[in-house]
Chains A and B, each alone.
Chain A
Amino acid sequence: MTPAIELRATRRAFGSVVALDSVSLTIAPGEFFALLGPSGSGKTTCLRLIAGFDQPDSGAILLDGADVTNTPPFARNVNTVFQDYALFPHMTVAENVAYGLRVRGIARAERARQAGDMLDLVRLGEFGARRPHQLSGGQRQRVALARALINRPQVLLLDEPLGALDLKLREEMQVELKGLQQRLGITFVFVTHDQGEALSMADRVAVFSQGRIEQLDTPRELYNRPQTAFVASFVGSANVVERAAAQKLTGQDRAFAIRPELIDLLAAGEPAADGYVQCAGEIVDVLYHGASSRLRVQVDERTTLAVARSESAGGGVQGFTTGSRVRLAWRPGHAVPLRD
């Protein structure tokens, strides 16, 4: 099957800053794909190159098998939902949605009909006559979606689509976006710095760091099998134990990651289960989060491990206070070895 999007050794530098360092990437038709990374990692540059707002210094970009490296944005069958929505304030909601048809010379009546359909699709049928500033953030977001979808693109690009929304709305929109993508069956590529968003919505996630893809995997693999220290700490904030410390704990000369919720917290004298890796430490701080608590335990001069305790599973933190000595233990299989 021809990939919907393909990047071949794409490089883009701004002055001396290399935003994207020879990135290759293939995205299948109908895939829900996330570009995840902290700011400045190259994920947004990657999206802008696919949209055509920017051109790579070297490498190639293919859409549906055709080289579009030098194709301007108006000639690409790709549409974008912008982080700030970029709705035109001097047009009504319906005119905004119909804009893509207007510039293609579609007649007014047909434009109005299709714009109405699109607004119905995003459940804003009644809002066509309003101006963008009369809508809430979540409604504007849906207008931006309708406007981008009206040209029936092969690929929809979303730049931090949920970044400007509050928590509750963000969760609703996650469900809505996922449902919309499944109904339309087109490729969605979205940029986010929120690993929770990437894990819950995407089929596959590319984790970006310093202009490179650190790891490209399914959410489950990324979470359970991070390959690098960066991925381990960025996705799901796992503990990363560096080589020197790992050598002392396990005898193996290789860095590893261990998730906070997979570490058992024991009182100083309490024995660990057979075969567990264990170490002693001192509690640095305790943070109460409601359903769970998070402690940080210093196990040697340079290593502090986070430990998560679920309140409901009988793992409260009573008795564990800052400064008290404790033991930590985990099953060797739960530690994920990392690449250097």
Chain B
Amino acid sequence: MRSERPRRPSWERPSLFTRVMATAGLVFLHAPVWVIALYAFTTEDRTYQFPPPGLTLHWFDVAFARADIWESMRLSLLVASAATLLAIILGTLAAFALARRTFGGKESITLLFVLPIALPGILTGLALLAGIRTLGLEPGFWTIVAGHATFCLVIVYNNVVARLRRIPPSWVEASMDLGARGHQTFRYVLLPQIATALLAGGMLAFALSFDEIIVTLFTAGHQRTLPIWFYSELFRPRERPVTNVVAVVVILVTLVPILLAYYLTRPDERGSE
């Protein structure tokens, strides 16, 4: 915790204009989220009239009673877990291969790994759909997982590679020098060092997968993940606030891991030692 910040010189202090604009920017970003949360409690179910005529917990009962919501929630959680696990394994392997070694074509391989996150989702989705059709596969759970793993992998890879580059080569040499086999060096020296990076990358990957819709639309077949459920719900006039209730739950489910990831990867004295 920082105590008593020293007074900064006048030319470093923000002007009133800067403060107003910064505040306005933050309000623009976050106000809609609060509006969504607010309308989860409204007593009026068709139009979003402001202010809400009354507040109720009724929509939570309705939402929790609907099987389709639970089904979609379950599918999204399963997909996100599977995609994250796959990404952790493959991303870590890729990071170890590419962090230190130099070999021909390394730059191209690195680019190919990172590309899926820069590529528009619609392209990834189209390409995957074409691939799935060509191979004669039935779109479903595993095709969604594969689609999500393409960009989840990048997140894990980037986190782990950054951490590995901060580990002095002498640590691995010292471990070998003292008699450790490769798997022991990994288990006792490297894994403790990359653990928080794995956790942070995994949580971020989970959150990305959980609310992904574009790639999912192309790869899901008849399955409905939670984002697809939202999308289809928009066209139903009834029980509008139910979507808001689910949205609040989704915000909580994604916010917690992202906050955790943020706190876990802050540089601490031990890691930077």
Q: Does A74 contact B270, Cβ atoms closer than 8 Å?
A: no
How many angstroms from the CA of A86 to the CA of B192 in the assembled complex?
15
Q: Does A74 contact B171, Cβ atoms closer than 8 Å?
A: no
Residue of B170, B175, B270 touching A84 (CB-CB under 8 A)? B170
Residues of A within 8 A of B168 (CB): 84, 86
Residues of B within 8 A of A72 (CB): 176
How many angstroms from the CA of A100 to the CA of B178 in the assembled complex?
5
The distance from the CB of A131 to the nearest CB of chain B, in whole angstroms, is 7
The distance from the CB of B179 to the nearest CB of chain A, in whole angstroms, is 5
Q: Does A80 contact B273, Cβ atoms closer than 8 Å?
A: no
How many angstroms from the CA of A147 to the CA of B178 in the assembled complex?
8
> Does more than half of chain B's interface fall in helix, strand or loop, or is it mixed?
helix
Name which residue of chain B comes closest to A84, CB basis. Answer: B170
Among the stretches B56-64, B112-120, B128-136, B181-189, the one at the interface with A is B181-189
Q: Does B273 contact A133, Cβ atoms closer than 8 Å?
A: yes
Q: Which of B168, B193, B273 has its CB near the most chain A CB atoms (within 10 A)? A: B273
Q: Does A151 contact B179, Cβ atoms closer than 8 Å?
A: yes
Does A183 have its Cβ within 8 Å of any Cβ on chain B? no
Does B173 have its Cβ within 8 Å of any Cβ on chain A? yes
Does A89 have its Cβ within 8 Å of any Cβ on chain B? yes
Count of residues in B whose CB is under 8 Å from the partner chain: 21
Contacting residues of chain A (86-124) with chain B, CB-CB under 8 angstroms: 86, 88-90, 99-100, 102-104
Q: Does A132 contact B273, Cβ atoms closer than 8 Å?
A: yes
Residues of B within 8 A of A132 (CB): 273
Name which residue of chain B comes closest to A131, CB basis. Answer: B270
Does A73 have its Cβ within 8 Å of any Cβ on chain B? yes
| Interface membership of chain A positions 122-135, coded 1 if the CB is closer than 8 angstroms to chain B and 0 otherwise | 00000000011100
Residues of B within 8 A of A86 (CB): 168, 170-171, 173-174
How many angstroms from the CA of A84 to the CA of B189 in the assembled complex?
16
The distance from the CB of B172 to the nearest CB of chain A, in whole angstroms, is 9
Residues of B within 8 A of A102 (CB): 188
Q: Which of B178, B189, B192, B273 has its CB near the most chain A CB atoms (within 10 A)? A: B178
- With A86-B171, A132-B273, A133-B273 as contacts: A73 and B188 at CB distance below 8 Å: no
Contacting residues of chain A (21-80) with chain B, CB-CB under 8 angstroms: 51-53, 72-74, 78-80
| Interface membership of chain B positions 160-177, coded 1 if the CB is closer than 8 angstroms to chain A and 0 otherwise | 000000001011011111
Does B269 have its Cβ within 8 Å of any Cβ on chain A? yes
How many angstroms from the CA of A147 to the CA of B271 in the assembled complex?
21
Q: Does B171 contact A103, Cβ atoms closer than 8 Å?
A: no
How many angstroms from the CA of A339 to the CA of B76 in the assembled complex?
79
The distance from the CB of B55 to the nearest CB of chain A, in whole angstroms, is 50
Residue of B178, B193, B273 touching A99 (CB-CB under 8 A)? B178
Q: Does B270 contact A133, Cβ atoms closer than 8 Å?
A: yes
How many angstroms from the CA of A151 to the CA of B124 in the assembled complex?
54
- With A103-B181, A133-B273 as contacts: A88 and B171 at CB distance below 8 Å: yes
Q: Does A103 contact B189, Cβ atoms closer than 8 Å?
A: no
Residue of A52, A89, A100 touching B273 (CB-CB under 8 A)? A89
- With A90-B270, A133-B270 as contacts: A74 and B174 at CB distance below 8 Å: no
Does A82 have its Cβ within 8 Å of any Cβ on chain B? yes
Q: Does A82 contact B174, Cβ atoms closer than 8 Å?
A: yes
- With A86-B170, A89-B273, A131-B270 as contacts: A74 and B176 at CB distance below 8 Å: yes
How many angstroms from the CA of A151 to the CA of B180 in the assembled complex?
12
- With A88-B189, A90-B193 as contacts: A103 and B184 at CB distance below 8 Å: yes
Q: Does B177 contact A73, Cβ atoms closer than 8 Å?
A: yes
How many angstroms from the CA of A82 to the CA of B184 in the assembled complex?
20
Q: Does B273 contact A79, Cβ atoms closer than 8 Å?
A: no
Q: Does A82 contact B173, Cβ atoms closer than 8 Å?
A: yes
How many angstroms from the CA of A131 to the CA of B174 in the assembled complex?
17
The distance from the CB of A212 to the nearest CB of chain B, in whole angstroms, is 25
How many angstroms from the CA of A267 to the CA of B24 in the assembled complex?
84
Q: Does B184 contact A133, Cβ atoms closer than 8 Å?
A: no
Q: Does A74 contact B179, Cβ atoms closer than 8 Å?
A: yes
Q: Does B173 contact A73, Cβ atoms closer than 8 Å?
A: yes
How many angstroms from the CA of A67 to the CA of B6 in the assembled complex?
64
Q: Which of A72, A82, A132 has its CB near the most chain B CB atoms (within 10 A)? A: A82
Name which residue of chain B comes closest to A132, CB basis. Answer: B273
Residues of B within 8 A of A100 (CB): 178-179
User: Can you name 16 A-B residue pairings with CB atoms under 8 Å?
Assistant: A53-B176, A74-B179, A78-B177, A80-B173, A82-B173, A86-B168, A86-B170, A86-B173, A88-B174, A89-B271, A90-B192, A99-B175, A99-B178, A103-B178, A133-B269, A147-B174
